[in-house]
Chain A
Amino acid sequence: MTIRGAALTVEGLSLSGPRQARLKALSVTLPRGQRLLLAGPNGAGKSSLLDVLSGDVAPSAGTLHWGPGAPAPWAERRAYLPQRNALAHPFSAAQVVALAGVGASDALDHLEELGIKDWAEQPYSTLSGGLRRLVHMARVLAQLDRLAPEVGWGFFDEPLANLDWRYAGRVLSALARRSAAGYGILLAAHELNLALPWAEQVLLLIGGHGEAFGAPAAVLTPERLATHWGVQGHFEAWEGGGRLVLDSLDP
């Protein structure tokens, strides 16, 4: 399948924070149709970057180039799963997904894709934390699917947190399908060993600046693991993927 549509180019992006800058002159070109992992230790600026890319927060400096043909309303060019969800209204799971503006059967399909269709009629507020998160994931995927693949971007802030391996796998396959269809997909995650076999490219943020962008093996070097995560480890590559091997939690 050929990928149509433009890459998302970020140029000199900065965002000031209360104590120190959250993003520092970040420049990167994010290709569409590839599985992009946004990595970095806690406080590196991953959520800040996703906030800016989603239009939630205006950058202090820098520009975003969405390419020609990007629709003016933000809601028509990106879907965004933020790190926290605020919903407290007693909707059923299926009703939450339908908030993306899709019909009931479409909402059920999205719940089924993530393997949680059995909970469709259950009040959202009675679901466990992981299931609630999956319901929002289904809602955001439903919104993304309404966008055209050649203009749509999906930003996902830690959708794998609090999920067991089965559901993490469901989420990653759902994202892989969108990426193969030509959507731009950027996934922020701390679960590197779950996300790395999935990722084609890794954008590593350190202290708000872009430390590296490229193939997992090239980005996650033993030196960087030691310096930024304080662990001993190495990337074990195989044909078309790989995994991180943690040798010791001591630096």
Chain B
Amino acid sequence: MALARAPGLKALSLAFLLAFGAALLLGPVPLRPWALAEDPAAWPILWELRLPRALLAALVGAALALAGALLQALLRNPLADPALLGVSGGAALGAAAVLSLGAGTLASAFAVVPVAGAAFLGALLAVAMVLRLGQRGTQLDLSGVLLAGVAINTLCGAGVGLLMMLAGDGGLRSITFWLFGSLANAHWLSPLPLLITLPLTLLLTRSWGQALDQYQLGDREAAHHGLAVGRLQREGLLVATLLTALAVAVAGIIGFLGLMVPQGLVRWFGPSHRHRLPQAALAGATLLLLADLLARLLLAPAELPVGMLTALLGGPFFLWLLRRQLSHSLADGA
């Protein structure tokens, strides 16, 4: 298969499998694979806690990183992040609205469904507004999209703040936790939406590499080579939005992953997009599995929200990236 020979995919697959195995076996109660058969207490931990959580971490990480790689390519901006389109802001507002109404109901597993649903709807609504505002004729004005995203995110942030002020103590607490992003509430229902969507996405985008490369020439010159620029933009933004919205809906806001992973891949594997999307999915899954493992182990038996951990690691990374870009553009005289 062509994919197996693609640069990095083998190594990334191996890293992913190792991370997945570690996420299953490590935790406050370490499991030994050879002792699973004899230990009756190990099965529920593995089957009801670790496996759904590891699956969710892998899917959410893959979805966020893939969406980030797509957005950085489509907006032709290495600093683009899934949050920029207003996805996170809209999702947060939707989730906060539901959480502030039913304070404290998060204890039951099925209370997650309305929260996730509201987050998903909020995300779609916000992106729809951003894209509508960024439209110029039949094409998108990329800087318009970015500015509209900033504005919508700010508005949603204000809305969330208002809801937090109005919510009771329980509501305030659950909104705060949701905003940090966490995989702690994972159960067998939560990975399902992404388990269906992510493989379909990888299938749909499997031949987009050359198109995304040509797209970097700019709308006009990409079209000179016969690329259907508008269609690629529409489909790509739709895919990125859907993946981000689904990820945010089940796991809250996990920042910086969608920014960091594609950036790292550019450094390791070069600027071509030929295998970027499957690479991003594998690397994102691996990274979030490891981050969640850290979040569970650092303060065990208590745990950190994984979104806080990715922000903690991602913030300095982002600053370093910014410094590097600035010094490079100075060196280029650009």
Contact = CB atoms under 8 A, between A and B. Distances in A.
Contacts of A126: 332
B220 interface: yes
15 contacts: A54-B224, A56-B220, A56-B224, A74-B224, A75-B224, A80-B224, A86-B218, A86-B220, A89-B76, A90-B271, A91-B272, A95-B213, A99-B213, A99-B214, A101-B225
Nearest to A99: B214
B207 interface: no
Contacts of A74: 224, 226
A201 interface: no
A162 to B, nearest CB: 15
Contacts of A89: 76, 216, 271
A161 interface: no
A76 interface: yes
Contacts of A56: 220, 223-224
Interface of A: 54, 56, 73-76, 79-80, 82, 85-92, 95, 99-101, 125-126, 143
Contacts of A90: 266, 271
Given A88-B76, A125-B332, A99 B217 contact: yes
Contacts of B221: 82, 85-87
Chain A contact surface mostly: loop
Contacts of B332: 125-126
Contacts of B105: none
Interface string B206-217: 000010011011
B29 interface: no
A54 to B, nearest CB: 7
Contacts, number: 56
A95 B224 contact: no
A74 B219 CA distance: 15
- Greatest chain B CB density within 10 A among A82, A85, A91, A99 is at A99
B6 to A, nearest CB: 16
A49 B226 CA distance: 20
B196 interface: no
Contacts of B225: 75, 99-101, 143
A75 B217 contact: no
- Greatest chain A CB density within 10 A among B210, B213, B217, B218 is at B217
A143 B213 CA distance: 15
A209 to B, nearest CB: 26
Contact of B218 (A79, A87, A143): A87
Nearest to A73: B226
Given A56-B220, A74-B224, 20 more contacts: A75-B225, A85-B217, A85-B221, A87-B216, A87-B217, A87-B221, A88-B76, A88-B216, A89-B76, A90-B271, A91-B213, A95-B213, A95-B271, A99-B213, A99-B216, A99-B217, A99-B225, A100-B225, A126-B332, A143-B225
A125 B333 CA distance: 10
Contacts of A125: 332, 334
A101 B210 CA distance: 8
Contacts of B226: 73-76
B271 to A, nearest CB: 5
Contacts of A95: 213, 271-272
A99 B271 CA distance: 13
Contacts of A80: 224
Nearest to B212: A89
Contacts of A76: 226
Contact of A79 (B210, B224, B272): B224
Contacts of B224: 54, 56, 74-75, 79-80, 82, 143
B111 to A, nearest CB: 45
Contacts of A75: 224-226
B272 A85 contact: no
A76 B272 CA distance: 24
Contacts of A86: 217-221
A82 B332 CA distance: 23
A54 B272 CA distance: 27
B256 to A, nearest CB: 21
A251 B320 CA distance: 58
Contacts of B220: 56, 82, 86
Interface in B35-89: 76
- Greatest chain A CB density within 10 A among B218, B225, B272 is at B225
Nearest to A125: B332
A143 B226 CA distance: 11
Nearest to A136: B221
B210 A91 contact: no
A75 B214 CA distance: 13
Contacts of A73: 226
A204 B151 CA distance: 50
A85 B221 CA distance: 8
A155 to B, nearest CB: 10
A54 B219 CA distance: 14
- Greatest chain B CB density within 10 A among A80, A86, A125 is at A86
Contacts of A85: 217-218, 221
A88 B266 CA distance: 14
Interface string B274-288: 000000000000000
